[in-house]
Amino acid sequence: MQCPIPAPLLAAFHSAHYVVFDPPTRFTLRIGHYSPALARLMSRHNAGTVAILTAYNPGAKPASAQANIHAQQTLLDAIHKLDLFHCHGENAASDGTGHIEPTVVVLGIHRDQALALAQQFRQLAFVFSDANAIPELIWC
């Protein structure tokens, strides 16, 4: 039996700003909202999917800076092995409080591959979109 996710944490995930760095621009994704910028990014890279992943703060519990940096580098190494285009981003609370978590924005990744990576790094959820460019939360 899985542990239910507390309502405040659910709300935080749904209201967070998911920022994508697409040099020289950047744009913010909102869960459940169409993003023309995301559609353009996916089109430019001929990608039908995108996932936003992080290895920071497993289980939504604060980890040390050193542990987070090491885990994020291990995630990047795993993504490099998939040979998929990726760029960077960050997750931030919508009200500007809390920590900013660096992310990796992976284009062309299968949903099950993204889920496996999120689970490997003990994340509660990740952001995923198919070609409709409407980001959704996928709970692990």
Each residue's pLDDT tens digit, 85-107: 999 999 999 888 878 999 999 99
Task: State the pLDDT at residue 1.
Answer: 40
104-128 mean pLDDT: 98
Strand spans (E) along 12-70: 17-22, 25-29, 50-53
Write the Ramachandran bin of 43: left for phi over 0, alpha for psi from -120 to 50, otherwise beta. alpha
Round to whole Å and give the CA distance between 50 and 86.
9
Region 112-136: mean pLDDT is: 98
Query: What are the two backbone dihedrals, phi and then psi, of residue 92, each rounded to the nearest 5 degrees?
Result: -145, 150
The span from the CA of 55 to the CA of 17, in Å, is 17
For the entire predicted model, the pTM comes to: 0.94
- Arithmetic mean of pLDDT, 33-45: 97
Q: Which amino acid is at 119?
A: Q
